[in-house]
Each structure stands twice: as C-alpha cells, then as structure tokens.
Amino acid sequence: MRKTGLSYNEIRKEIPVAKSTLSLWLKSVRLPKKHRDRLYKKQISILSLGSQSQRMRRAREVDLIIREAKRDVQVPLSLEAYRLMGAALYWGEGCKSKGFNVTNSDPRLIFFMVKWIERIFGVPSKDLRARLNIYPQQNELKIKKFWSLLTGIPLQNFGKSYVKPLNKGYKANNLYYGTMRVELPKGTDARYKIYGWIQVALQDIESQVTLAERKWSSLKAVSRPVNVAPHSLVGKAADS
C-alpha cells in the first residue's frame, strides 16, 4: 500500500493502527518521486485551507451535536413543559417591574411567546399590543408589516416606535427586523402567575440561594453608580 503511494492516514483507513506504528513498519520504504510529489501537494493544500478547514470541521461537529440533541426532546411538548418553557423565556426576556411585555429581536422567540400567551392565558394575538425599536435608516412601515404578518398582531395595535439616534459606532449584528416588544394589556396578574411557576420550578435551590444572599447582604449596601459624561472622565484623567 505504501509503495503504491498511499499516505499513512490513507493506509490507516484500511489498517487501524497508530501512525507511529506505521512509521516504524515503513521507514525503509522509499516512495517514488511522483508519489512524493502527490503527497506534498496534498499537504500544501491542507495547510492552505488553514482556519477554513478547521471551521468546516467544527461546523460538522456542531451539526452532529444538534442532531443528537434533537433526539432528547419529545414533541409535541406536554402542557407542563410548554408552560415552563414560556415562563423561563419570560423570566429571561420579559419585563419584571411593570405590566407584562417581552422584548427580543428573534422572530422565533417573539412568535413563540405570542402563541404561548394565547394558549396559556387565552388572549389571542389580535388583542395584544406591540412596539418597535429600530434604526433611522430602516423602513418602519415594512418592519411593522413583517411583525404583524408573523404574529397576527394588527398594525393598528402597534404603538409609536422608538428610533435610535445615529451614532458613529459599528454594530456587529444587524437587527434587520428591529427589536419587537409584545405587550399583554392588563397583564400584571399574568406576570405574577409566571413568578409563581418559576418559584415552584426552583424550590429545590431556593434555600441555598437565600443563604448565600444573607451571607453576602453587605453587597447591597453599595451606593448606586452615578452616570458621568465621557468628557468629564477625560477631564479627570487629564487632571490626574
């Protein structure tokens, strides 16, 4: 096999032994020039791919991880799993202080929460309200139509959009659809319900968290930070 010009890796596909073992076995076998040239060109090609080859390999690994992970979840989800999934998403992305609203730029998350609100609280999408957070160069009406078509929330239920002021900073992630906020009118009680579900789900760790918070309660004694304008900081730095 070596004399026909195969590399160690190519031989190992047929004979599963360590490369060091092949090296020991075949150290006296000298390849003809044409085969040496082929293997050399192949090695150069691999090296030229560099990080691209690594990215492709990692992409295949990630794809395998995701495909195997999908087998861990049974669909359709049970009502209990569905309820807690939405509650957890609200815990992470929803408003904690006033009313009931959840904000995100991911169309899948927003659409899930709209359907979740309808199934769990019985409020259809036509009764929800919405607001956008967009950039000045974006087409507000088109983005509203996108979200309205996706979620079923009527255009007339969209409040005034917040348009971010222009700045010189460069944002790595383009939010093509802006950021969407879904509001459940008179949803304060629904928000408290979610808190109740979360508390039950986390009851096994509650005592440990409470103990840690009591032990480190002094951390809460730190005064709130004062917002300082950037030019003030520059001035202070120059003075020092």
Q: d(Cα 148, Cα 76) in Å, to the nearest integer? A: 26
- CB-CB neighbours of 112 under 10 Å: 17
In contact, 154 and 160? CB cutoff 8 Å: no
Query: At 133, is the secondary structure helix, strand, or coil?
Result: strand
| Helices assigned H by DSSP within the chain | 8-12, 19-26, 33-49, 51-70, 79-93, 107-121, 140-151, 188-201, 203-215, 230-239
Which of 168, 163, 109, 112 has its CA nearest to residue 140? Answer: 163
pTM of the model: 0.70
Tell me, what's the pLDDT at 233? 44
DSSP letters spanning 145-194: HHHHHHH---GGGB-PPEEPPP-S---SS--TT-EEEEE-TT-HHHHHHH
Could you list the pLDDT tens digit for every one of the 240 residues in the chain?
888 888 888 889 888 888 889 888 988 888 878 877 777 777 777 666 666 677 888 888 999 999 999 999 999 999 999 999 999 999 999 999 889 999 999 999 999 999 999 999 999 999 999 999 998 889 999 999 999 999 999 999 999 999 988 765 555 557 889 999 999 999 999 999 999 999 999 999 999 999 999 999 999 887 776 665 544 444 444 444
CATH of region 79-193:
3.30.1330
Q: d(Cα 66, Cα 45) in Å, to the nearest integer? A: 30
- Which residues of the chain are in CATH 3.30.1330 domains? 79-193
In contact, 110 and 94? CB cutoff 8 Å: no
Edge-to-edge strands, sheet with 129-134? 101-104, 179-183, 129-134, 162-163
Quick one: tokens of 207? 């005592």
Quick one: tokens of 21? 């073992």
